[in-house]
Structure 1
Amino acid sequence: MQTTALRLRSLAAFSMALGTVGGAHAAGFNLLEQNVSGLGNAYAGSAAIAENASTIYFNPAGMSLLPGTEFSAGITAIKPSFKFSNDGSTGPGGTPITGGDGGDAGKWAALPNLYLSHQLSPKWHVGLGVGAPFGLTTDYEQGWKGRYHSEKFAIESININPSVAYKVSDQLSIGIGANWFQIDADYRLATPRPVPNVGVFDMDTRVKMKGDAWGWNAGILYQATPSTRLGLSYRSRIKVTADGTTKLKNRTIPGIPDGTPLSKFDAEATIKMPDTAIFSVVHDLNPSWTLLADVSWTGWSSIPKLTIENSGPGARDSELDLRFKDAWRVALGANYHYSEKWTFKGGVAWDQSPVRQAKYRPTALPDNDRYWLSIGAQYRMSKNATWDVGYTHLFLRHTDIDNDTNVPERGLTRGSYKNSGDILGLQFTYRF
């Protein structure tokens, strides 16, 4: 017991030093990539499969299927692509706008995760998970046509999730966890500044904020038949108040060196991170084939807008009108148990975006419905050690933008995006 407690404390301490980078590869800026063992199935069956300790995130009740002590760690490389083509964008107040199309706003990102579960008794399990459930990075070339809406928007998060599971009977298990969640945001854009008798020039605006809060998650696992298992899980909303600064620096105003600080304000924003619910089914068709299915819901309507409140002499608040809608996701997958050492995986998914109208599509998140095509493999190198590898390609619908929510200050961004994404991951699991 003391050894397990020491391991849990060591994992928690290591997690505090773990950097997280947002990739935004579930719809919105939710990150499903909380393990790699599920990546090859497009995360079908995520709340019922309980293959390893990463079940702590998807359904903590799944720990009841894990004997002894289990450690799992993985890393996922994510490459989104957001390529804008202009079709009638204007500057503030409808004035002509200069600049390019911004290049590819998607960049490589690395997403790590860590999990540890331990069986205290035949009925009780405890565990700890560390990951990044939300993240986003869009990074355009400076001076592009949509620069007054966004040039860079980055969200990074970390979530520490201690959990406990109780085996009620041979058929039913329940689990619950607490979540300490921290978010960092970095928002950069150009702000127009009129100079009397000269013209309108750009200033660099950068908002940096950080905040943390607590939430919870819970799940149920039910063995309906010897070959069919059902899972139901829920993660709560988390209301985060982040604070930091808004800084303005010169970019093009004549007579002032570029980069000269012009203003600094205290900044604050409150955001309700959405709750999620997952229903999963796992069915062993025969000794060679396992079928998996998922239906999940995300309460994105908790974010109708994002308001950044600035305080100080001359300060003005900034607002993004988002009007996010709740979203659904459906996934189907299959595992082929080729041998005692090898299992091959596949999966498909439809992932609905919270952004439904071109008018409210932000340049910071040029999101749309996406389709997942996934493959993966699992290699059991020994009785206790397992490697997982997975790959997903994301196909996105044609994505129009016609954002005129603040033409007087930011202008109109009109055009279309060609979007796609690739995800590649590697995970190691060891059972003591």
Structure 2
Amino acid sequence: MKKSSAVLFKTSLVALSVAAASSAYAAGFALNDHSATASGTALAGAAASKSDISFSFWNPALFTNAKQTTFYASGAYVMPSMDVTVDSATDATPNVPQKGLNGPVDLGNKVSGDSVNNTLVPSFYFAKPLSDKTVAGISLNVPFGLSGDDDQDWAGRFHATETAVQDIALSFALAHRVNDWASVGASVQVHKAEIVLESAVGFTGREGIGRIEADDTAVGYSFGAMLEPVKGTRVGLGYRSEVDYDFEGDVNYTDVAGLNAALTSFGRPNLVNTSLSDSVTMPSVMTLSLEHDLSNKLTFGLSAIRTGWSSLDGLNIDFDSTQDNSVLTFGFEDQWMYSAGLTYVYSDKLTLRSGVAMDSSPVTDEYRSARTPDGDRKWLSVGATYDFNDMTSATVAFTHVKIDDVSVNRTNLPEDSARGTLKSDYESSANVISVAMNMAF
């Protein structure tokens, strides 16, 4: 009886995960489209490019690309696709024959409908030269984010039904051109993050929905340098810091009357709406890039981007009630993205770009879940910029992202004792269209 009541009590713990569902564009839940210009080469040369001020996301020293007051606005429309096959799923029904509970129930093979949503990712940059060598910059980006919405009756509902994560960063930067071949820069960032996490709670015949909404504001920073030791060869290094969040929010339950009656019969507290908190660290990002002018028309670029995903070791949600803390392991590993690309000046008005990238997932097989069905990615990108005049240009890019097929095997982890088991397979990909306008005045 004690073990069974403990299982029932754990049903009050919603299946939480800040890294909740796969962002179909970038590994983990990073959003890497902060510039239609950079997307055209799959981010090759991102920390060393002389193209425009949007590259300041990866290296704030590149605000020195502005020779006059400049505004750059970019938007990426991410169109993901995910096919899910459920091999098996059971709930967490306890084995208590005298109460008519005879162990886990087979939940069938029903898959979710649209488990990933199309998403618009905006970015804005403004640069104001303070002198011939110093530039002040402001930017607004969404470094991390995702949106996923599963059916509330799908077979994996006790693991996830809805997930939304959004991290918005407002940056204030200064960049300085030290001499003809070196620039440096730094920024302070104000981050605002919001999280929505929802799943079914309970077990078949005694289930409801638990929904968490939480947010916090935090501060981060970045710094970088760009060197051109040989004319036509540029090397850049940029670093964006970890961001420490102390999330506070609420959990709200619906349709839990039957579950609460069962909890009462086991002598356990009912599920009640309450507040909660947890501390989470968003990862750092380091970008090392090279650009080399092969001719006066053709430029070759390389980038290596390291994301410190291991800072997201897991969650330890503290409920302001008699509920036990909810602990969830992420098992993320630090990973690299590598890209190579070409930029070709076709004419005085038209510039063409192309690039490829390999983006490794931080998710390990052991802890992959319905909220993190993430796999390694391959990018193929093309793009172009058209200069209307010396003051205004428009940029477009298209990226196809192929994601490795992965499987979720949640059958023997202690933290799933209140969620049941789930074995499922995922086939995913994404297409991304990016558009930007650059204006100087």
TM-score (norm 1): 0.89
Structure 1 partner of 2:123: 113
Aligned 1:405-420 pairs, distance under 5 A? 405=413, 406-420=415-429
Structure 1 partner of 2:51: 51
Indicate the SS of the match to 2:63.
Answer: helix
Structure 1 partner of 2:252: 247
Offset of residue 308 of structure 1: 2.1
Structure 2: distance between partners of 1:125 and 1:408: 55
Structure 1 partner of 2:107: 97
Corresponding position: 1:316 with 2:324: yes
Indicate the SS of the match to 1:88.
Answer: strand
Indicate the SS of the match to 1:38.
Answer: helix
Instruction: Report if the CA contact (8 A) 1:356-1:368 is conserved.
Output: no
Structure 2 partner of 1:383: 390
Offset of residue 153 of structure 1: 0.8
Q: Which amino acid aligns with 1:160?
A: L
Structure 2 partner of 1:364: 371
Structure 2 partner of 1:10: none
Corresponding position: 1:279 with 2:284: no
Indicate the SS of the match to 1:301.
Answer: helix
Structure 2 partner of 1:196: none
Corresponding position: 1:293 with 2:302: yes
Offset of residue 415 of structure 1: 1.7
Corresponding position: 1:330 with 2:321: no
Change in Cα spacing, 1:50 to 1:143, as seen in structure 2 (3 Å) is farther
Structure 2: distance between partners of 1:307 and 1:40: 40
Count of residues in Structure 1 that have an aligned counterpart in Structure 2: 400
Structure 2 partner of 1:84: 84
Q: Which amino acid aligns with 2:175?
A: A
Indicate the SS of the match to 1:306.
Answer: strand
Offset of residue 398 of structure 1: 1.3
Offset of residue 50 of structure 1: 3.6
Greater than 3 Å deviation, 4+ residue runs: 251-256
Instruction: Report if the CA contact (8 A) 1:191-1:205 is conserved.
Output: yes
Corresponding position: 1:352 with 2:360: yes
Structure 2 partner of 1:176: 186
Structure 2 partner of 1:12: none
Offset of residue 40 of structure 1: 1.1
Change in Cα spacing, 1:382 to 1:252, as seen in structure 2 (3 Å) is farther
Indicate the SS of the match to 1:383.
Answer: coil
Worse-matched range after superposition: 92-101 or 272-281: 92-101
Offset of residue 82 of structure 1: 2.4
Offset of residue 262 of structure 1: 6.0
Residues 225-271 of structure 1: CA distance to partner in whole angstroms, max 9, x if unpaired? 11111100101111101111001110694999xxxx96201111211
Task: In structure 2, list runs of 5 or more residues that go unmatched.
Answer: 1-21, 94-103, 262-269
Q: Which amino acid aligns with 2:327?
A: E
Instruction: Report if the CA contact (8 A) 1:148-1:191 is conserved.
Output: yes
Q: Which amino acid aligns with 1:372?
A: W
Structure 2: distance between partners of 1:157 and 1:418: 26
Structure 1: distance between partners of 2:79 and 2:35: 17
**Higher relative CO (CA 8 A, sep ≥ 6), structure 1 or 2?**
2
Offset of residue 99 of structure 1: 5.9
Instruction: Report if the CA contact (8 A) 2:208-2:259 is conserved.
Output: no
Structure 1 partner of 2:9: none
Structure 1: distance between partners of 2:135 and 2:117: 39
Structure 2: distance between partners of 1:350 and 1:126: 33
Percent identity between matched residues is 28
